[in-house]
Structure 1
Amino acid sequence: MPGKSLDIEALKAFSPLNGLKAENLRALSEKTSVQEIPGGRFLFRKGDTDRRTIYLVSGEVELRDGDRLLSVIEGGTPDARSPLSPGLPRRASARARSRVEFVAIDSDLLDVMLTWDQTGTYEVSELRAGNLPESDDWMTTLLQTKAFHRIPAANIQAIFMRMQQVNFKAGDVVIKQGDEGDYFYVITDGRCAVTRETPLNKEGIKLADLGPGDTFGEEALISHAKRNATVTMVSDGSLMRLGQEDFNTLMNEPMLQWVDFEQASRIVASGGQWIDVRLPSEFESFHQEGAINIPLYFIRLKLKTLDPAKPYVVCCDTGRRSSAAAYILSERGFDAHVLRGGLTMADIESR
């Protein structure tokens, strides 16, 4: 049974949600509901790998390692501001001591929103001077899609920078079935209809209606095949398009130096440095020993404090924000590596 919704002010009580911009908090609140379980039930068990970020709203939860009680978290207290046992696999079991209310947020969605929030200030200001439309609602919609969760965040800014805006009138054909693929498209304003011609229906069978934030055109680019459908404007509108070469390079061929935890440790032991780009509240909750904390949104401002001769291993909780930071560092000549899978997948002894 669906739970009650949680408003924006309630979400602000949790870290790092309190760092999100209003529009992303609003989008998150629409996808988040409060769930309830009775005392004695488990929210999750040690070893679980379900990618959910769980916050306690009310009641008391025990964090346990087998029969050993590690701590008791009470809703509404400072301890409840952070997610319950955020690392994966879970390092503890969470058992409701009383009736509890909690929220479970898709971890990938949250991480995309945090990444966009912390890079978006630069991107939007740079892109507004170029060819992006005034509203960025379509960006938020696009970044919430599962497809975009699979794209390294380091490439997000370059993707938007290289997109071109094109305007269409109602009735215009954007792509035609049977043509060669040339662009990947994102709808920013207006609506499109997707149709496919068959031997029995030359007029075309309607496959879908698309609106702002929806994308199309990628299949032909990935498969190097001809367009398998026709997309026609239902209303006047605007699209952003990305050329085939940029699409293949930025969306299919990540160009970062990814390392696992063992490789990262060797780099640091040989004179390198950990850079943790999460928010200070996340860093204080747990971090790798010896790491310096430079939140992603500060990375450009702190470049002069870094040593160009030193290799850096950039980390966050999943690898998404750290890949964005490493992209910025690499663009400016730093030897930057990204911890694959992030801290949630690493065995961190300092917790």
Structure 2
Amino acid sequence: MGNTVTSKQLLKLVPLEGINPENLQELASKAEILRLGLGKMVFKRGDQEKKHIYVLEGTVELIDELNRSMDRISAEDAKAKHPIDPPLPRRYSCRVIEPATILSIDSNLLDIMLTWDQTGTYQVEETQEGEDGQEEWMNQILQCKAFHSIPPTNIQAMFMCMEHVDVMPGDEVIKQGEEGDYFYVIKKGRALVTRATEKNPKGIKLAELQAGDSFGEEALISDNKRNATITMLKKGSLARLSKNNFIELLNEPMQNWLELSEAQPLVDSGEATLLDVRLPAEFQQSSIEGSTNLPMIFLRMKHKQLDASKKIIVCCDTGRRSSAAAYILAERGFDTYVLKGGINAALSDA
């Protein structure tokens, strides 16, 4: 094996199999390959460096504070597709017992790419032409249950801070891959949502939006690049809110954070559902007891499967994906909370 790793190799690893080819290529270019001899340490117990570590060749073992062997991982094992001891700080030290090739990936970069990819799926449905009245878009926003948790002064400030933009058919309001800068609401007109893929670089139609619909929030919440392109179909007008105003006026009031010690009693009593929005393979490797898995990529299509009478406590490994997921669910009327520190923090405290 050379000094680089290929996208094809990354596809065999969890959760990298959930990332699109373009982002996989970027991850591959930034990944670090380490070749370690017998007895060398991959990481030590208590290490808090945010890295996903995989063994690509050879064998390593996990040892506790008493130098006892807790597990062995060989590149040929099925468990080698998962990162080694992911909770931070590390619970064990990792030592090479057969010359090994180790892959190290920046966890923050990986998390951003997972969030970017998994928030890019819109539920495709037929839309009916909405009213084009100047006040209709405001009424539709205010009827959204998510806005019921926002102080009236914030809502008033939101409308006052919004800029109004006239648009023409064919105008690209946001473009896939660009940095997020505004949250948008369609006042008048219709827009097309498309997403480019490796096989369809011109873009696949995901949905059509109409007066009263909003878009652009996910890149602002997760601090990611745009995951789709929005193109106007009809002449119209938009209202937009800057990223800073969106975070201060809308996102922060809608984000309720809970420690695991606060969340667990609610789940145990049946008052809440602990919803893990990571990919199935991530969930299978490690999860909090009693949690339910619904990957964020399917959230828009399958949110009706959730019990709306219960609180929904959303979790992922770090909190980035769960914050975006909680916003999506809050927009749909759910009483949502985010697990503070994510699953990694919960498992490291276990």
- State the TM bucket, normalised to the shorter chain: 0.5 to 0.7
Partners of 1:282 and 1:93 in 2: how far apart?
Answer: 21
Partner of 2:338: 338
Q: Tell me the matched-pair count.
A: 259
Please tell me the residue identity of whatever aligns with 1:8. Answer: S
Please tell me the residue identity of whatever aligns with 1:17. Answer: L
Give the deviation of 1:251 after TM superposition. Answer: 4.4
Partner of 1:180: none
Q: Encode CA deviations 1:9-43: one digit per residue, 9 max, x unaligned.
A: 11112111111111110111111131111111111
Is it true that 1:131 corresponds to 2:172 in the alignment? yes
Partner of 1:58: 57
> Match for 1:250 among 231, 241, 246?
246
Give the deviation of 1:159 after TM superposition. Answer: 9.1
Partner of 1:237: none
Q: Percent identity?
A: 39
Asked whether the equivalents of residues 115 and 321 of structure 2 are also in contact (C-alpha less than 8 Å), the reply is yes
Asked whether the equivalents of residues 35 and 102 of structure 1 are also in contact (C-alpha less than 8 Å), the reply is yes
Please tell me the residue identity of whatever aligns with 2:44. Answer: R
Partner of 2:285: 285
Partners of 2:293 and 2:334 in 1: how far apart?
Answer: 17
Which of structures 1 and 2 has the larger relative contact order (alpha carbons within 8 angstroms, sep 6+)?
Answer: 2
TM-score with structure 2 setting the length:
0.66
> What does residue range 150-229 of structure 1 map to in structure 2 within 5 Å?
155-156=221-222
1:156–1:318 CA distance, 2 compared to 1 (3 A): closer
Q: Encode CA deviations 1:98-120: one digit per residue, 9 max, x unaligned.
A: 21111111111100100111112
Partners of 1:299 and 1:261 in 2: how far apart?
Answer: 23
RMSD: 3.4
> What does residue range 311-350 of structure 1 map to in structure 2 within 5 Å?
311-347=311-347
> What does residue range 234-273 of structure 1 map to in structure 2 within 5 Å?
246-251=242-247, 254=252, 255-271=254-270, 272-273=272-273
Asked whether the equivalents of residues 273 and 311 of structure 2 are also in contact (C-alpha less than 8 Å), the reply is yes
Partners of 1:276 and 1:332 in 2: how far apart?
Answer: 18
In structure 2, runs of 5+ residues without a counterpart are 126-168, 181-216, 232-238
SS of 1:104 mapped into structure 2: strand
Greater shift, 340-349 or 295-304, is seen at: 340-349
Deviation above 4 Å: which 4+ runs of structure 1? 151-154, 156-161
1:73–1:313 CA distance, 2 compared to 1 (3 A): same
Give the deviation of 1:154 after TM superposition. Answer: 6.9
In structure 1, runs of 5+ residues without a counterpart are 141-150, 166-241
Please tell me the residue identity of whatever aligns with 1:155. Answer: I
Please tell me the residue identity of whatever aligns with 2:172. Answer: N
Asked whether the equivalents of residues 274 and 291 of structure 2 are also in contact (C-alpha less than 8 Å), the reply is yes
Q: Encode CA deviations 1:301-324: one digit per residue, 9 max, x unaligned.
A: 221111111001111111111111
1:157–1:345 CA distance, 2 compared to 1 (3 A): closer
> What does residue range 33-182 of structure 1 map to in structure 2 within 5 Å?
33-66=32-65, 67-122=67-122, 131-132=172-173, 136-138=176-178, 155-156=221-222
